Every structure is written in C-alpha cells, then in structure tokens.
Structure 1
C-alpha cells in the first residue's frame, strides 16, 4: 500500500495552491498516495504518513491558513515526517539561490523538526486579491516566477526520502 502524503497549503491568489498541486502530482507519479488540500479545510492529519506544508509569503509572513494549520496540528505533525515550502519572491531570486525561511517559519521548523524547507518564486498577476497585491501589479512588479522543474525535483527528493530510495529520489 502506498504511503499517504498530505500537501496542505495556504494561498491567497492561487499561486501556492498550484505549487502544492504540482508537488502532490509529482509524489503520486513517484508511487505515493498524495493529496493537496487548502490548509484551512484540513481537520485531521492522523490519516497521513507524511505532510508537506506550503504557504505564500506576504509581508515576510506565511499566509494565515498555513500558519494556523501548523499551530492547530503541531502535536500530530511532530510525530511524522514534515517538509515546508514557501512561495513568494516576485523575481528570479528563488531560482538563482537558496532562500532561507522567514523567521516565523524557521521557528515552526525547529519546534517540529521539519526535514527541509524550500522557497519557490511566486506569481502575482492582474486581478490579484488585496490592496497591496494590486499595488504591486499596478507598479509593474508582478509576474510569474515559479520554476516548476525545480518544484518537481524537490518533490521527487521528498518521495525518495519517504520511500527510502534516497535523498535524491533515486
């Protein structure tokens, strides 16, 4: 039976949700039973063998549903393998170098003994929700900076760790 993996995410404008779906799709392709769900809709994590949590970054903090998910499920999360990802830089920096987690995410990682964190570029386009988001787009600083091959490679590495194939997924 395939191990069950939850990919829970907090996303305001859908970019982080699409990253979470790509992670879950890659994990399924690697033979795992993976499901991506909005963090605010997850009531229980005990049915999952491993959990990936992702949050969009807004003003240096994870999106509120991701923060609340980690706080609400901290006991259950501490008993299983957990990985975190953040999305948000609106430039190519996440593809060019490793960006460390923001302070709040770093503290949660330490409390839960999280296996790994990755930061991926974000997407902010016309029609974004929120006053600040609309201002950023209006100033011409929006765009799509997600690197799906890097996201899929990261998910492959997670699958390798879960299945015992090794840290590189092979």
Structure 2
C-alpha cells in the first residue's frame, strides 16, 4: 500500500499553495497518495504516514498557519517522517545557495525529527493582499522567483526516501 502523505501549507497570496500542490503532484506521480491542504484546515494528521509542511515567509517569520499547525500537531508529527519548506525570498538567492531556516522554523526542527528543510524563492504579484505586500509590488520588489524544477526534484527525493523505507517494512 502506498504511503499517504499530507502536504500542509500556510499562505496569504497563494504562492506557497502552488508550491505545495506541485510537491503533492510529484509525490502522486511517484506512486504515493498525496494531498495538499491549507494548514489551518487540517484537523487530524494521524491518518497520514508522512507530512510535508510549507510556510510563506513574511518579515523573517513563517506563516502563522504553518507555525500553528506544527505546534498543534507536534506529538503526531514527532512519530512521522517530516519535511519542511519555506517560500519567500523575492530574489534569485534561493536558487543560488542554501538559505538557512528562520529562527521559528529552526526551533521546530530542533523539537521534531525533521528530515530536511529547504527554502524556495517566493512570488509576489499585482493584487497581493496586505499593505506591505502591495507596497513591495508597487516599488518594483515583486516578481516570481519560484524554481519549479528544483521544487519537483526535492519532492522526488522525498518520494524516493519514502518508497525505499516502505520497501524495507
């Protein structure tokens, strides 16, 4: 039976949701059962064999829905394979180098047995919600810096690990 994987995400403007959906699609293509859901809508993680949690970065903090999800489900997450991702730099830096997790994500990683964390570039487009986001776009600081081939390669590595571990059971 294929592993059932939850890809939970916290987003305000939808960019992180699109990353989560891409991750879930790759996991499904590799033969796993995967679904991407807003972190705030997930009630019970015990029906999942593994979890991926993503959060948009705002002013050096992970999206509140992602933070709350991890805090609310910490006991159940501690017993499952867990990966984290952040999205947010509005430049090419995430494609050029590894970006360390922000302090709140680092704390979650220290408390839980997180397999890996990665930071992907973000996207901020015209019509973004929030005063600060609109100001960034208006000042030419927006754009789409997501690297979907890198996102898909990361998801494929997750799938490979889960499939390998399932084969050992």
The two structures have a TM-score, normalised by structure 1, of: 0.96
Within 5 Å, which residues of 2 pair with 1:4-15? 4-15=4-15
| 1:79 Cα deviation from its structure 2 partner | 0.4
Unaligned runs of 5+ in 1: 166-170
1:121 aligned partner? 121
SS at match of 1:115: strand
> Using the alignment, how far apart are the partners of 2:115 and 2:44 within structure 1?
21
1:149 aligned partner? 149
1:67 aligns with 2:49: no
SS at match of 2:94: helix
2:30 aligned partner? 30
CA offsets per residue over residues 19-43 of structure 1, 9 Å max, x none? 0000000000000000000000000
SS at match of 2:86: strand
The two structures have a TM-score, normalised by structure 2, of: 0.97
SS at match of 1:25: helix
CA RMSD, Structure 1 to Structure 2 (Å): 0.7
CA offsets per residue over residues 82-105 of structure 1, 9 Å max, x none? 000000000000000011100110
CA offsets per residue over residues 104-123 of structure 1, 9 Å max, x none? 10110110110000100000
1:134 aligns with 2:138: no
> Using the alignment, how far apart are the partners of 1:42 and 1:5 within structure 2?
13
> Using the alignment, how far apart are the partners of 2:52 and 2:34 within structure 1?
10
Q: Which contiguous aligned blocks of 4+ residues in structure 1 show a shift greater than 3 angstroms?
A: none
| 1:139 Cα deviation from its structure 2 partner | 0.5
